[in-house]
Structure 1
Amino acid sequence: MFLRVSLSECLRLVSYQRNGEFKQYRMDKQERGLFYEPLLPKLKERIERNLAGAIEFSEIVDKGTKAWIKGFNTVLTSGRTHFPGPKPSVDLVVTSPPYGDSGTTVAYAQFSWLSNVWLGLDNRTSSALDSDMMGGRKTPVEPLELYKMLECSPMKEAFEQIVAQDEGRAAEVMQFYYDYYISMKNVASEIKQGGHVCYVVGNRIVKGVQLPTDAFTTWAFEQCGFTHVVTYIRDIPNKRMPSKNSPSNITGKTAPTMTGEFLVVCKK
């Protein structure tokens, strides 16, 4: 697995994947004939870098630390059966949820498709993966939960602006944020008193409206008994999307995309 992680990063660099794209687009035919990037030097460099990082981490971490990987969907369950004891037992959650639904945002499924296929991890099409991700399929919406969400003033205001332009697009946006809200509630239920959550989020732009995911994240955890500690702002590393796109699909009409991430820290 260690070698696969290093190889996964290199696959995108040596393939015909167009640089600067967050979707799966190949270079033009004329460009492919001139393109060649040797794999081995890049692979060697990343193996050495990752190995150095692993060694440094192993020297710092407590030798008694144990790790398990448990797979479950936080939109559907809190994962209680995976944790010890009948009470909340998690000290810290550090995660970076999707910026939005995969089909219309950063195309997470398309981004991961190349590595999935080459490494034999998942042979499903990117569109099939899209539907399994947060906000990717229509799940039953509990009216009271939806009503509760709209108590978050910044989100309610942004949502109303999108509804005024495109009700269908607004429905897609709210499906994602509904799933995200339920996920945060499930995560919050497993954090013990004094525990922390650190969410790395992006405020995507839909129909020219910036969605306040950082404020919504803070608000959601506050509803679950958390206190907002701090929000840090940083540039997006390895940014794999254009600085501008055309959300209206009108030629020449562009809008800026996300350029920063928000690290939201809350304490229970």
Structure 2
Amino acid sequence: MILKQEVKNYEVPSFPNIEYWFDEDVIEGLAKLRAAIFSVEDDRLQNLFKVAFSETIRLVSKADLGEFKLVRAERSKKKDVQLVFEAIARRNIVRLSVLSKLTLKARVDIQRVNVLEDLPLQDESVDLVITSPPYGDSKTTVAYEQFSKLPIKWLGLDDSFKNHQLGAKEKDFEQTLPSEELNECLEEIKRVDVKRAREVYSFYADLYKAIENISKKVKPGKHAVVVVGNRTVKGVELPTDKICADFFRQFGFVHISTLVREISNKRMPAGTMKHEYVVILRKSGYNNQ
């Protein structure tokens, strides 16, 4: 067993509809496992187990794992909490062992920041940015909040991030965004549904602000790589790859290339996204060799 200690004292977290999403014996198994994990004194080891626990929660729940939103499956097969957790934990340990054998000369600095605010980096200090922003607003496209809801509840984590997602605060077409293709799409959506057009605008207005903040940190002559998906709203396909390139151009970037790859292993709204676009850009300035 990964965690050998016998758990006698444990608490079941209290959140709405817990019985709707989990069988009674699964709730007990998760509660015992959670108590065992929280009792691990080594912070790094505890975090390793928390990651495995988070994935376990979704797999042993009654959620439909083929859906991108939180929906209960019509039929759910019971799974043993301990066996699922051990399989995930062992898999992760093997992967970390492989990674530890690689010769990597890098320092990792993980920070929790809001990309809509100024980033804690010096301007023009970054050689390469690789990022994959949300493919759309969480309410209607990829439901990041719903996907993580059950693990967040079990782990007792702060869920206030939902108030800071791109497009979370609705805007009323406050400025014309610098993308002709986006503005044409917004006009098409407006003719069908003004409210949806406003939600789409709010998302891209925040994305523009995020790109502005990111752009400041990249050195002249260096690169940004953005991975996006192009969603469809009210029958209108939004070319986010081209929109991102337009936005970056406003801050001195040149579009180098866009690579296309098929989405094969992500849960997406049926029929709305089949490809991802890897947009490669370079900031103008010195060292443009």
Instruction: Tell whether the structures are fold-level matches, with TM greater than 0.5.
Output: yes
Paired position in structure 2 for 1:247? none
Q: What secondary structure, in the 3-state scheme, does the structure 1 residue paired with 2:101 have?
A: helix
Match of residue 121, structure 2, among 56, 63, 83: 83
Match of residue 261, structure 1, among 276, 281, 286: 276
Paired position in structure 1 for 2:141? 105
Q: Deviations over 1:114-135 (max 9, x none)?
A: 111112223x4xxx65433110
Paired position in structure 2 for 1:135? 167
Gaps of 5+ in 2: 1-46, 284-289
The 8 Å contact of residues 234 and 260 in structure 1, kept in 2 or not, is answered as: yes
Paired position in structure 1 for 2:237? 210
Confirm or deny that 1:73 pairs with 2:114: yes
Q: Higher RCO, 1 or 2 (CA under 8 Å, sep at least 6)?
A: 1
TM-score when normalising by structure 2? 0.75
Within 1, Cα distance between the matches of 2:112 and 2:162? 18
Confirm or deny that 1:196 pairs with 2:228: no
Q: Deviations over 1:203-255 (max 9, x none)?
A: 11100111010001111112211122222222334322342xxxxxxxxxxxx
Tell me the CA shift for residue 27 of structure 1. Answer: 3.0
Q: In 2 relative to 1, CA 232–192 (structure 1 residues): closer, same or farther, beyond 3 Å?
A: same
Q: Deviations over 1:24-50 (max 9, x none)?
A: 22234xx35xx2122333333332332
Aligned length: 237
Paired position in structure 2 for 1:3? 49
Taking only aligned residues, the RMSD between alpha carbons, in angstroms, comes to 2.2
What percent of counterpart residues are identical?
Answer: 39
Paired position in structure 2 for 1:38? 80
Within 2, Cα distance between the matches of 1:7 and 1:209? 39
TM-score when normalising by structure 1? 0.80
Q: What secondary structure, in the 3-state scheme, does the structure 1 residue paired with 2:221 have?
A: strand
Gaps of 5+ in 1: 244-255
| Rg larger for | 2
Q: What secondary structure, in the 3-state scheme, does the structure 2 residue paired with 1:105 have?
A: coil
Q: Which amino acid aligns with 1:190?
A: K
Q: Which amino acid aligns with 2:239?
A: P
